[in-house]
C-alpha cells in the first residue's frame, strides 16, 4: 500500500508533526514542531523527484513490453507468411511446422488453422484438414466460404487426375460448407466428362458424368442421350456397353434398346449368341416384348389331314385299316398325334386302343416308314393332326 506524503513526513520526522486537536476542532490540525523548514522542503523535493523517476521507469517498461509483444506478433505473422511461401513451392512439411508453431503460441489464429488445413489436404490428411477447417470456421465464420472453395478446388484436381471417389468426397465436404457450390461442381464435372467423351475416352467420361449427375440430376437425360446415340452408331458388339451406360442415367430409351438387341439376336444362327442378346434385351424390355420376337416353345400344328372311316370289327381285319401319316416323314419322334371323329374309333399303338370323339398320343416311333393306322365309323370323317413342340 502506498503512503501519503504527510504520513511519510511523520515517519521521517517523528514528534514534529502531530494531529492534536483533531477531535476538538472536527478536522485534522497538525502543530508544527520547531523544525528546520529547509529539511522538510528538501525531503519533499526528493520525494517528488523519486515519484517522477518511478513514473518514467514505468513508462519505459510499458514501452518495452509493447515493443516485445508487437515484435512477437510480427514474428508469428511472419511465420504464417513464410508458411504460405513454402506452400507455393510445395514444401508442405516446412509450412506445417511453422503453422503448428503459430497455433501453439496463438490458438485463436483462424488463418493459421485454415492454412494448416490446406497443407493437410495437399498431403492427403483429409481428416486432419476437416478438423482444422471446422475450428477455423468456429473462430471466424467468414472462413466457411473459403473452406468450401478450397474443397471444391482440390476436388476438381482429384477429378482431373481420375480419382473419382476421392473427388466425390471432397465435393461433398465443399457443399457442407457452401451448399451454393453444388451447381458449380456439377457443371465442372460435366465439362470434364464431355471433354473425355469427345476424345473417345468413354469410361473416363462416365466417371466424371456420374459425379455431375450426383450433384445435379438434370444432367442425367443429356448424358443418357449421348451414350444412347453412341450405342446406335456402334456395331452389334460394342453397342451393348454404350447402352448399359445410357441406362445408368435414364430409362427413356429402354424400349428402343431392347428391340434392337432382340433384332440382333434374331439374326444370329448360333443359339449361344441368340441367348446372349436376348438376355441383354431383358434388361430393358418386359418378357411379353421378348416373346413377340421370340415366342416361347409351344405345340404348333405342322400337318393336318382328313380321312374317311371304313368301319371296324374285332378281328383286326386289314380292310378296315385307314393308313394316315407316315412315321419319319410327316411324323417325327416326340410329335403329338391328335385324332378326332364323330363317335367311337380305334388307333394302333402296339395294339388297338379305343377312344370316343378325340385322343392325343405322343409318337415314340423312331423308325422311318410305316403308317399310323386308324379304324373309325364307316363313312365318317376322321381328322389327324400332327403337332410339334418348338
What are the domain boundaries of the chain?
5-53, 218-296, 299-389
CA distances from 8 to 18, 19, 30, 43 (A): 13, 14, 14, 10
pTM for the predicted model, two decimal places: 0.64
Pick the CATH number of 299-389 from 2.10.110, 2.60.120, 3.30.70, 3.40.50: 2.60.120
Q: Which residue has the cell 428391340?
A: 259
Q: Which residue has the cell 506452400?
A: 87
Q: Where are the alpha helices (DSSP H) in 106-238?
A: 110-122, 126-139, 143-160, 164-177, 182-198, 202-215, 219-233
Query: Tens-digit pLDDT profile for the chain (390 aa)?
Result: 555 555 655 555 555 555 544 444 444 444 444 545 656 566 566 766 666 666 666 665 665 554 444 444 445 558 889 999 999 999 999 999 999 999 999 999 999 999 999 999 999 899 999 999 999 999 999 999 999 999 999 999 999 999 999 999 999 999 999 999 999 999 999 999 999 999 999 999 999 999 999 999 999 999 999 999 999 999 999 999 999 999 999 999 999 999 999 999 999 999 999 999 999 999 999 999 999 999 999 999 999 999 999 998 888 899 999 999 999 999 999 999 999 999 999 999 889 999 999 999 999 999 888 999 999 999 999 999 999 999
Burial status of residue 127 (CB atoms within 10 A of its CB: 0-12, 13-18, 19 or more): exposed
Task: Name residues whose C-beta falls within 8 Å of residue 209's C-beta, 6 or more positions apart in sequence.
Answer: 189, 190, 193, 197, 219, 223, 249
Burial status of residue 98 (CB atoms within 10 A of its CB: 0-12, 13-18, 19 or more): buried
Amino acid at each position: 500500500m502506498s503512503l501519503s506524503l504527510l504520513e511519510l513526513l511523520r515517519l521521517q520526522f517523528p514528534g514534529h508533526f502531530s494531529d492534536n486537536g483533531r477531535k476538538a476542532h472536527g478536522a485534522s490540525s497538525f502543530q508544527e514542531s520547531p523544525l528546520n523548514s529547509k529539511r522538510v522542503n528538501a525531503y519533499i523535493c526528493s520525494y517528488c523527484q523519486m515519484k517522477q523517476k518511478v513514473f518514467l521507469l514505468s513508462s519505459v517498461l510499458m514501452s518495452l513490453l509493447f515493443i516485445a509483444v508487437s515484435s512477437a506478433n510480427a514474428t508469428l505473422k511472419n511465420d504464417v507468411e513464410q508458411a504460405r511461401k513454402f506452400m507455393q513451392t510445395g514444401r508442405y512439411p516446412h509450412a506445417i511446422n511453422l503453422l503448428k508453431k503459430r497455433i501453439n503460441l496463438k490458438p485463436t489464429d483462424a488463418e493459421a488453422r485454415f492454412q494448416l488445413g490446406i497443407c493437410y489436404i495437399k498431403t492427403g490428411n483429409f481428416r486432419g484438414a476437416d478438423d482444422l477447417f471446422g475450428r477455423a470456421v468456429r473462430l471466424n465464420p467468414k472462413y466457411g466460404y473459403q473452406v468450401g472453395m478450397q474443397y471444391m478446388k482440390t476436388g476438381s484436381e482429384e477429378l482431373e487426375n481420375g480419382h473419382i471417389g476421392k473427388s466425390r468426397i471432397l465435393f461433398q465436404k465443399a457443399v457442407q460448407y457452401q451448399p451454393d457450390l453444388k451447381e458449380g461442381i456439377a457443371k465442372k464435372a460435366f465439362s470434364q466428362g464431355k471433354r473425355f467423351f469427345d476424345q473417345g475416352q468413354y469410361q473416363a467420361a462416365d466417371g466424371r458424368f456420374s459425379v455431375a449427375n450426383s450433384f445435379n440430376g438434370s444432367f442425367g437425360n443429356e448424358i443418357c442421350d449421348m451414350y444412347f446415340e453412341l450405342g446406335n452408331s456402334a456395331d452389334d458388339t460394342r453397342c451393348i456397353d454404350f447402352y448399359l451406360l445410357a441406362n445408368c442415367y435414364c430409362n427413356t430409351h429402354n424400349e428402343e434398346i431392347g428391340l434392337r438387341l432382340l433384332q440382333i439376336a434374331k439374326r444370329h444362327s448360333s443359339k449361344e449368341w441368340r441367348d446372349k442378346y436376348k438376355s441383354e434385351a431383358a434388361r430393358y424390355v418386359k418378357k411379353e416384348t421378348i416373346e413377340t420376337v421370340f415366342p416361347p416353345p409351344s405345340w404348333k400344328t405342322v400337318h393336318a389331314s382328313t380321312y374317311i372311316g371304313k368301319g371296324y370289327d374285332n378281328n383286326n381285319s386289314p380292310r378296315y385299316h385307314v393308313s394316315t401319316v407316315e412315321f419319319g416323314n410327316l411324323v417325327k419322334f416326340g410329335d403329338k398325334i391328335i385324332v378326332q371323329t364323330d363317335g367311337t374309333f380305334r388307333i394302333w399303338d402296339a395294339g388297338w386302343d379305343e377312344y370316343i370323339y378325340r385322343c392325343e398320343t405322343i409318337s415314340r416311333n423312331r423308325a422311318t416308314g410305316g403308317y399310323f393306322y386308324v379304324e373309325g365309323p364307316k363313312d365318317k370323317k376322321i381328322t389327324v393332326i400332327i403337332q410339334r413342340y418348338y
